[in-house]
Copies of this chain bind each other. A is one copy, B any other.
Amino acid sequence: MFFGSDNQSCASQPILDAIIAANQGFTHGYGDDHYTQQAIDQLSAVFECELDVFFVPTGTAANCLALASLVKPWQTVLCHSSSHIIMDESTAPEFFTGGARIMGIAQHSNKLTAEHIRHYMSLGGDDIPHNSQVGAVSITQANELGQVYSATDIQAISHECKQHGLKLHMDGARFSNAVSHLKCRPAELTWQVGVDVLSLGATKCGALCAEAVIFFNKDDARSMPHLRKRAGHLISKGRLFGSQFSAWLHDNHWLELADHANQHAQKLAQQLKAFADIKIIWPVQANELFITLPKPLADHLNAQGAEFYDWYPAILPVHMALNGNDRYVRLVTSFLTSDAHCNEFVQVIENYLKNN
């Protein structure tokens, strides 16, 4: 019962098969191979535009290289206070950007909005060079509370960004889950609504180790070859990334994987709603559930082998302070989550409640 993270899963079979197929003979190194080129072509087709793509091994690298491309070291990046870049990547954003500031806002909301940005920008702080100026906004799709930004949400955000000359970055570690939820075309959620750079994650969504930084505006990408190299993220056997992305995108495999994960999150949510003691905190949209449940029950689940993480209490809705008897935990499903895993989880709960 692994609900700790979608990265606890292995790679899907088609992706593994692609790695195997690519593992033959010699190719040029450092991404100058046809697997890489093919993956780029597929990305271009999927996003219906020309784009600059840089493959990297981790989501942290993808996000932080993207930000380093967009802001100067004396600028500030605005993001939701629960975002991965501010909560879960150590001080990598500061490191990669040469010391830009990362500023979390929208503290008790479950999504960043244009209004949050407008409010922050209205608070003054335009005394240059004393005040650090905002250079970019970063949003996560689907975000760290399992919430999905609609095309309209993003459009409003990017509109506000443009008023202030800010670049817009999207952390798409679970972009496929968002696309699956919205049934949109990828273009409709990115460059067509003003996203400048997308960190597109495959690792959490069925790959073994494959992330891409996608620039919809080539000018923004000019420093990237240098930034990636000097951060040690230009791997020599580039076919590892090319083959995975190629298989992931082929024939909508990426969306099938995301559909599977999302559906199992919905299914689990349905099952958990039956229990009065368990509260689902945020709407279940992608592949993450945030619930509160009695501590003894949560501990029992852990003891029975269920894996999940306690989540940051700072990121509860403001009206819902955590009472001392509950745990606030996150459950994540993946392409590998089966009905059996969900049922077993629910069964443990039922058994526990019966006996307590």
State the A residues within 8 Å of B (CB): 2, 4-5, 7-11, 16, 19-20, 22-29, 56-62, 64-65, 72-76, 87-92, 94-96, 98-102, 122-125, 127-132, 203-204, 208-209, 223, 225-237, 239-240, 307, 310-314, 336
Contacts and interface: CB of A to CB of B under 8 A. Distances in A.
B230 A74 contact: yes
A232 B23 contact: no
Contacts of A64: 232
Contacts of A128: 225-226
Given A124-B313, A230-B74, A100 B90 contact: no
A232 B230 contact: no
Contacts of A99: 91, 94-95, 98-99, 230
Contacts of A16: 19-20, 23
Given A125-B312, A129-B234, A236-B204, A92 B229 contact: yes
Contacts of A10: 22-27, 237, 239
Given A230-B95, A312-B124, A28 B56 contact: no
A131 B122 CA distance: 30
B24 A5 contact: no
B312 A92 contact: no
B23 A131 contact: no
Given A73-B91, A74-B227, 6 more contacts: A16-B20, A74-B230, A99-B230, A123-B312, A129-B228, A209-B240
A115 to B, nearest CB: 15
A118 B4 CA distance: 28
Q: Report the 3 A-B pairs with minimum CB-CB distance, sorted nearest first.
A: A61-B232, A94-B99, A7-B236
A26 B11 contact: no
Contacts of A22: 10
A204 to B, nearest CB: 7
Given A29-B4, A29-B5, A73-B95, A229 B130 contact: yes
A202 to B, nearest CB: 11
Contact of A26 (B8, B234, B239): B8
Given A129-B228, A129-B234, A314-B124, A74 B91 contact: yes
Given A74-B90, A91-B132, A232 B60 contact: yes
B125 A56 contact: no
A131 B90 contact: yes
A295 to B, nearest CB: 15
- Which of A9, A28, A232 is the most central at the interface, judged by chain B CB atoms within 10 Å of its CB? A232
A231 B23 contact: no
A313 B208 CA distance: 41
Contacts of A90: 74, 129-132, 226, 229-230
A67 B228 CA distance: 19
A79 to B, nearest CB: 12
A208 B20 CA distance: 11
